[in-house]
Structure 1
Amino acid sequence: MAAFNEITPAKLMRLIGTPQCPAIVDVCIDDDFAEDPRLIPTSFRHPHADVDGLIARLDGKDTVIACHQGLKLSQGVAAHLRARGLSAQIVTGGKVAWRDAKLPAVPASAILGRLWVTRHRPKIDRIACPWLIRRFVDPQAEFLFVPPSAVQGVAERFHATPFDIEDGEWSHHGDLCTFDMMIDRFGLSHPALDTLATVVRAADTDQHALAPQAAGLLAVSVGLSRMFRDDIAQLEAGMLLYDAFYRWARDGQDEGHDWPAGRAQ
């Protein structure tokens, strides 16, 4: 059983992907990180000795600290944070336990920057992908929506990563949509996300036979695009939509609904 100041990998994974996810900080030394240069989803690296810098960076958020084995580095940093009035836990067993549990881990080399750019007037992939990045890769990621002809130029001038554009690196490949490709490149394959990816692909490529939920996702996506003239406001509304779809994929697939209420299924 985890101690009062610890959280198991399984319990932390239940928080990742939801708005309730704490800040996750990787304090591994460089040698340990080099052995497995991957990050727990949404986590960022920070030197264990720079507690003041970390406190400023956290801005009061609840925090989980991860080191190689969940011993002296994470315990020490978490104790420092608690002594300064912050809520801080450690990952039981550290990143070794996370790896041994075969939970998703994001290759550090796949994280190219905080700024992304795509075509304006988003529908499905261009909302689903920002949701995936913010919920599983970088909660502080920023997204620019511009006319299709301007995407590459904006990417070059503002050092942004273009996505969901024709012939792009972060885009459709074969039968897979951009959301599929991001799950693969970010090492995020997991039963709930894989289920959600099928629904997104079915809706985004007009293959509704792949998933009956695709028609509903398309309908709501089109409705949102009609409700909002501002793409950023639409993205914020879409975050809630994909939060709901993710929780359905993770916990709710076996639940149905019928009338009259209480009738045996």
Structure 2
Amino acid sequence: MAQFASISPKSLMRLIGTPDAPAAIDVCIDEDFNADPFLVPTAIRCPHAAIDNLVPDVIGRPVVVICQKGLKLSHGSAAVLRAHGIAAEVLEGGNHAWRAAGLPRIPAGHLPGSGQPSRWVTKWRPKIDRIACPWLIRRFLDPKAQFLFVPPAEVAAVSEKFEAMSFDVPGARWTHDGPRCTFDMMLAGFGLDTPALQKMAEIIRGADTNRHDLAPECAGLLALSVGLSRGCRDDLAQLDAGMVLYDALYRWARDGQNETHDWQEDEG
């Protein structure tokens, strides 16, 4: 039976990756975190003594607080947030339970910088990988991530001058590797190995590299992506529209692959 104001690892994982995911706050002490430097997807670190400082950022959002074992630090921090009127729960069993359940954990050393929000840069006029990757970043790494779309020749310089992580361009930290596209590389690098994300990766790879034989959905994703690109003159507006598209693809890959649809005329 679930404890008061708590959520199980499995239930939290069902919310992560969707627009309804709660804010996740990791309050582990540095000693514990340094011994196992991984985060629940989307979690940010905050010392338990500074939890009040996050109140303006999470007002109006549900929150899940995470510590090493789901005991005093998370319960105390969640209680402080509730005193501010925030719906805060504790992750049952903390990071230990999440790890034991075999759920995805983000290597902290692979995340860009320590500031919030993170900043990413790629070439302008995105189509497939450069929309899919921002979706992945916002849904599983940093919901507040900023994306800069610039001329191809300026990506490296903008990355340096504006402390932005470059992606999906030659020479970037995150980019294609042989047959694998940037989305594939991010899944591997960030430890996001789930059946739904791997199914999405297959479709994205096929659409992005003209390998429509990989899955029947590849051609459909290409068609929708081209349509979004043609219909949106502003790259950020295209990203906003693309978030809805990839939210739908994720829910299909996670829950809906066996569902079919047919039309039959009513009898009588």
Normalised-by-shorter TM-score class: over 0.9
Q: Which residue of 2 aligns with 1:238?
A: 242
**Cross-structure match for 2:229:** 225
Aligned equivalents of 1:167 and 1:156: distance in 2? 13
Which residue of structure 1 lines up, in the alignment, with residue 121 of structure 2? 117
In the other structure, the counterpart of 1:214 is: 218
The 5-angstrom pairing of residues 54-65 of structure 1 reads 54-65=54-65
C-alpha distance in 2 between matches for 1:115 and 1:51 = 24
In the alignment, what sits opposite 1:44? 44
Which residue pairs with 1:157 in the alignment?
161
- Distance in 2 (CA, whole Å) between partners of 1:159 and 1:84 is 34
Is structure 2 residue 85 aligned with structure 1 residue 85? yes
1:171 aligns with 2:178: no
The code of the aligned residue for 1:162 comes to S
1:35-92, Cα deviation, whole Å (9 max, x unpaired): 2100000000000011321213323321000000001110111111112211000001
What is the rounded CA distance, in whole Å, between the counterparts of 1:207 and 1:257 in structure 2?
Answer: 26
Q: Does 1:183 align with 2:184?
A: no
Identity of counterpart residues, as a percentage?
Answer: 59
**TM-score scaled by structure 1?**
0.96
Distance in 1 (CA, whole Å) between partners of 2:4 and 2:256 is 30
Alpha-carbon distance in 1 for matches of 2:255, 2:242 = 20
SS in 2 for 1:90: strand
Q: How far, CA to CA, are the matches of 2:43 and 2:71 in structure 1?
A: 18
Task: Give the Cα–Cα distance (whole angstroms) in 1 for the partners of residues 153 and 84 of structure 2.
Answer: 50
Tell me how far apart the structure 1 counterparts of residues 265 and 208 of structure 2 sit (CA, whole Å). Answer: 34
Q: Which residue of 1 aligns with 2:30?
A: 30
What letter corresponds to residue 42 of structure 1 in structure 2? T
Distance in 2 between residues matched to 1:3 and 1:261, nearest whole Å: 50
Residue of structure 1 in register with 2:152 after alignment:
148
Q: How many residues align?
A: 262
Matched, 1:249 2:253: yes
SS in 2 for 1:210: coil
Q: TM-score of the superposition, structure 2-length normalised?
A: 0.95
Structure 1 runs not aligned, ≥5 long: none
Partner of 1:259: 263
Report Cα offsets for 1:192-250 as digits up to 9, x if no partner: 10111111001001101101100000000000000000000000000000000000000
Q: Which ranges in structure 2 are unaligned for 5 or more consecutive residues?
A: none
Match of 1:137 among 118, 141, 147: 141
RMSD: 1.2
